Structures are given as structure tokens and as C-alpha cells.
């Protein structure tokens, strides 16, 4: 975390060697014309005079008709706001840039660095001001998870539960660790199931816990329990595409093809780029005599498989 902060900080300093200077003269009255103001501010920013440039960039960025100038002013604004740690202005610049230039590689690049720096600075502030707090321990655990430090992450989560046994979400995260470890113990699925059940006792509305219990039941061949958990997950979260897909495929395994169609249609609607959803829905359509619908869904699946470099499974009959 500290390395990321230093790297981002050095990038800012390299681009704007005078960005953090506070000994500069106060900015003069900006030109009345927004374009002139933005040109003037961009020149100031690019010469390292961020203290002067930032107010002018803030006032002019939203009023520029020249897209090239608006992009330049926005990127300069992001860099200056980052360097001066003006978070509110930073977020304003990022919102404008990502709205006006949503796929521009320069904008995406500067956004990555800006959000990364903001995240790092906020994490450092949390660690500095409340190092033993539950949020700080949770953030440390999540960082350890990302780095594959499973035991360290588990220890952090256990510390949270020692302080607050009913803190929501922690048993769910412990179950995730048990299921993610590369070399789990012999009873890891039962242990994960136990953690998920404890999570639901604390938070009955945890759709993720219901979904994973459904997956564990499906893998164990307990389709009745799998269907029950998947259905509960979809009721708790109407946008949970994987839960709809799990429900639909479990119903198909039971040969309840007609009943599988509605959840599979919802899964495809929520995740139109997921080839597994299209293939499962094509199979359900085919098994219920809806030939044209089956051919359409299988064609979509085949197109996705070809884009991914594979042939995909054969057409369902």
C-alpha cells in the first residue's frame, strides 16, 4: 500500500515539479472568456504552478466547447487536484472527464492513477487515525486476501469477531477465504458452510451467503437445497445474475426445463455477455420444443465462444 502511494506521488512530482509549492503569488483575475481562462490555467499547470492554475481550471472546465481544450484542462485539473490533495475538486474533474470522454485512453489512464492515489491516501489516513478499528482491520484483511496471504487475512477477521461477534459480513468473508485457499483442509467445504450459516444467523439478507450455500449444495448433489438457496438469493437481490443462472441450471438438472426458463431468461438479461447463460437457456428452450428460440440463443453462445477462441459445446438437442 505504501509503495503504491510513493509511486503515484513520484509520478505527480515528475509531471509537475512545482506542484506543491505554496510560495507562489496569488492568481490574478481570470480572463472573462472561459477558453482563454482554460488556456491560461493549463499553461500554469503544465509549468508546475498548480496553486494558481487549479481555481481557474475549476471555474472553466464545465463551460468549454472545444473538446481538445476541455480534455487538456480536465487532465491538468486532475493532476493538480491530486498533487494539492483537493479531493472534492479531483472528483469533479474525474466526473466531467469520464462523462465527456468515457473511452479515451488518456482519460482512463489518468483516472486509474487518480483513484489509486485517492484510495491509498485514504487508507493511510484510516491506518494513522484508527489502526485498531474494525474498518482498519477489515481493510488490512482485504489487502492480505488480494495478496494471497490467507492466514493473515483470517487472523484479521477473527480479531474483528473477537471484539464484535455479530459484526455483519465477517463470517461470509471467512467462508470466502476457506473456499479460496489453494491448499485447503479436508473439511473446508463444511467449515465454509458453517461460516455461511453463522452469517445468515446475523444477517438473514445476505444474498451472497445464500448463493454460495446453493453452489455448495449443487456440488454435493443436493439439488433441493441448492434450488432453495439460489431462489432465496434472487429474492434478496433481484440483480444477482449468477444466482438466477444457478437456479436455472439446477432446475434443468432436475429436468424441470419449463421452470428453468424464467430464471435463465433473467440471467441472460442481466448478463448478456455471459456465454454460459445463453447455452443453458438454449438447452432449456430446446427441451421444451421452442426450436427457434433455442437456435437464437445457441447462435449467440457460439458467437461468444468464437470471439473467445473456442468452439463451445455442441448445439443442444
What was the pLDDT predicted at 3? 40
Cβ–Cβ under 8 Å, residues 84 and 51: yes
Closest of 273, 113, 94, 138 to residue 146, by C-alpha: 138
State how far the Cα of 276 lies from the Cα of 240, in Å rounded to an integer.
15
Measured CA distances, 23 to 11, 46, 78 (Å)? 22, 17, 21
Q: What is the CATH number of domain 131-204?
A: 1.25.40.10
Q: How many CB atoms lie within 10 A of CB 258?
A: 12
* pLDDT higher than threshold 50 for residue 27: no
State how far the Cα of 242 lies from the Cα of 213, in Å rounded to an integer.
13
Q: What percent of the chain has pLDDT over 70?
A: 87
Q: What percent of the chain has pLDDT over 90?
A: 79
State how far the Cα of 117 lies from the Cα of 125, in Å rounded to an integer.
12
Mean pLDDT to the nearest integer, 78-85:
94
What is the DSSP secondary structure assignment for residue 31, as one 8-state letter?
P
Cβ–Cβ under 8 Å, residues 150 and 181: yes
* pLDDT higher than threshold 80 for residue 313: no
At 64-81, the pLDDT tens digits run 999 999 999 999 999 999
* pLDDT higher than threshold 60 for residue 62: yes
- Parse the chain into domains and list their residue ranges: 2-128, 131-204
State how far the Cα of 217 lies from the Cα of 193, in Å rounded to an integer.
9
Q: Same CATH topology for 2-128 and 131-204?
A: yes
What is the DSSP secondary structure assignment for residue 30, as one 8-state letter?
P
Overall pTM surpassing 0.75 (yes/no): no
What fold characterizes domain 2-128?
A: 1.25.40
State how far the Cα of 184 lies from the Cα of 180, in Å rounded to an integer.
8
DSSP 3-state assignment of 171? helix
Amino acid at each position: 500500500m505504501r509503495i503504491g502511494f510513493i509511486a503515484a506521488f513520484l509520478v505527480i512530482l515528475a509531471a509537475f515539479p512545482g506542484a506543491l509549492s505554496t510560495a507562489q503569488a496569488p492568481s490574478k483575475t481570470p480572463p472573462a472568456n472561459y477558453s482563454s481562462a482554460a488556456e491560461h490555467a493549463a499553461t500554469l499547470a503544465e509549468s508546475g504552478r498548480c496553486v494558481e492554475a487549479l481555481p481557474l481550471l475549476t471555474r472553466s472546465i464545465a463551460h468549454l466547447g472545444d473538446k481538445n481544450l476541455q480534455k487538456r484542462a480536465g487532465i491538468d485539473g486532475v493532476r493538480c487536484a491530486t498533487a494539492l490533495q483537493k479531493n472534492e475538486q479531483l472528483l469533479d474533474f474525474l466526473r466531467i472527464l469520464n462523462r465527456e470522454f468515457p473511452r479515451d485512453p488518456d482519460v482512463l489512464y489518468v483516472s486509474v492513477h487518480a483513484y489509486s492515489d485517492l484510495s491509498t491516501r485514504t487508507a493511510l489516513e484510516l491506518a494513522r487515525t484508527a489502526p485498531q478499528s474494525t474498518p482498519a482491520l477489515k481493510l488490512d484483511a482485504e489487502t492480505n486476501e488480494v495478496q494471497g496471504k490467507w492466514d493473515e487475512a483470517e487472523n484479521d477477521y477473527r480479531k474483528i469477531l473477537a471484539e464484535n461477534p455479530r459484526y455483519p459480513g465477517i463470517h461470509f468473508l471467512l467462508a470466502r477465504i476457506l473456499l479460496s485457499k489453494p491448499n485447503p483442509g479436508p473439511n473446508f467445504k463444511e467449515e465454509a458452510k458453517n461460516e455461511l450459516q453463522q452469517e445468515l444467523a446475523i444477517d438473514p439478507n445476505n444474498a451472497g451467503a445464500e448463493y454460495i450455500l446453493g453452489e455448495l449444495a449443487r456440488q454435493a448433489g443436493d439439488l433441493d437445497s441448492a434450488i432453495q438457496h439460489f431462489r432465496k438469493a434472487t429474492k434478496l437481490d433481484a440483480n444477482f445474475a449468477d444466482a438466477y443462472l444457478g437456479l436455472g441450471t439446477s432446475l434443468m438438472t432436475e429436468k424441470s426445463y419449463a421452470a428453468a426458463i424464467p430464471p435463465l431468461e433473467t440471467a441472460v438479461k442481466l448478463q448478456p455477455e455471459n456465454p454460459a447463460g445463453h447455452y443453458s437457456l438454449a438447452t432449456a428452450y430446446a427441451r421444451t420444443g421452442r426450436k427457434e428460440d433455442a437456435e437464437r440463443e445457441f447462435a449467440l453462445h457460439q458467437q461468444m465462444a468464437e470471439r473467445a477462441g473456442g468452439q463451445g459445446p455442441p448445439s443442444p438437442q
